[in-house]
Every structure is written in structure tokens, then in C-alpha cells.
Amino acid sequence: MLGAAATAHLYDREAGAEPICKLMQVAPSGYWRHVAQQRNPALRCARVQRDDVLSVDIERVWQANLQVYGADKVWRQLRREGTDVARCTVERLMRKAGLRSVMRGKVVRTTVADAKAPCPLDQVNRQFKAQQPSQLWVSDFTYVSTWQGFMYVAFVIGVFARRIVGWRVSSSMRTDSVLNALEQALYARQPERNELVHHSDRGSQICVN
């Protein structure tokens, strides 16, 4: 309603508030309350007024720490300064103000399409449903950050039961781990020939369908 009331305020002088409020389905009382709050911020609710104060403190802490602090560190610093505020409030106000922490670490892309490699068409048309076991499997390839570096995980999920039927962990992004996960699933489930569809993304490790 606030956005509609602000829009009505733009046309107040030309057409009057009531016709615009009726057109935009906004109560005139809500519009006039919005106008009064714009003229006198003290009329706003206590939460909005406190958000304004906290937003200034949050940005101050964020700027003072080279714009690298996230919500958790900003919240802890405010608590050390004696400001009683919930962490979720700090996170909400930082998100509203567009304040973000610096993400350390290497960005890993596991889905890297090979333009030269042949890729089958999508046989399931993004409809991931199965009427019986071993009718449709989907595969993915992701990574997990550990103290010793990144570990890469390939897994195959049976759509019917929504369970992992095959998986492998590797220290590198190799096609072997993906094929081993699929072979494990085939050995364990023994699907009927020509009844199974195996779907994956278009990453170079598992560009199959």
C-alpha cells in the first residue's frame, strides 16, 4: 500500500487524492497517513524508526571494516558496542541496503559445457516424474569445500523414490567419477534394458541423456 500511496501523492495536485486512491484501490486514510509520515518522520511506527537508527550503525561498522564484514560480524560488533539487536534484524537491514560481505575462496564451476561435444536432446522435457523404479535417473556433479581443498561429488538419483542410487567422491573433476557413480547405480539396481532414461546437465563430465 505504501507504494500505491506514494504514487497517488504524485497526482494529488492535479486530480486530487480521492479519485486516484479509488482508482488504485487505496484507502484515502492510508494515503493521508503516508503523507503525514513523510512530513513528520516521528509519526512512523517504532520499528521503522529503530530500523533507521540501526541502518546508520550497521553501515558505519561495515564501512569501518573495509566493507568486508557480513551480517554475523556486524552483529557481533554492534553487540560489543552495547547495541541490543537481533542477528536476523542486522541481516535484513544489510540485505535491504545492499551491503554484502566479501566471499573468500576460489569460485568453482562444475557445469562447464563443451560446445564441441555432441549432446543428446532432453528426453524428459524438464518433467522429472517417474511411475516406477528405475524409470528415470538424474545425475549431478558438485563440490564440497574441506580443510584439504575441494572434493567433487558425483551422484545419481532415482526420481521415483527420490533417493541416491549411485555416488562417487573424487579430488578432481574427472569423467571417471561420474561414470563410476552411474556404474554403481546400474550394478545395484539392475534396471530393465530400454526402460531407463538417464538425465543430466550439459557439463563436459556428464553430457549424456
Tens digit of each residue's pLDDT (9 = 90 or more) over 112-168: 555 555 566 666 677 778 888 888 888 888 888 777 778 888 889 998 888 899 998
Q: Where are the domains of the chain?
A: 1-44, 45-104, 105-209
Tens digit of each residue's pLDDT (9 = 90 or more) over 30-72: 888 888 888 888 888 899 999 999 999 999 999 999 888 999 9
Residue 73 pLDDT exceeds 90: yes
- CA torsion, ordered 104, 110, 114, 119, to nearest 10 deg: -150
- CA torsion, ordered 192, 160, 204, 176, to nearest 10 deg: -60
Predicted local confidence at residue 97, as pLDDT: 93
Tens digit of each residue's pLDDT (9 = 90 or more) over 156-199: 999 888 889 999 888 877 778 888 888 998 988 888 878 888 77
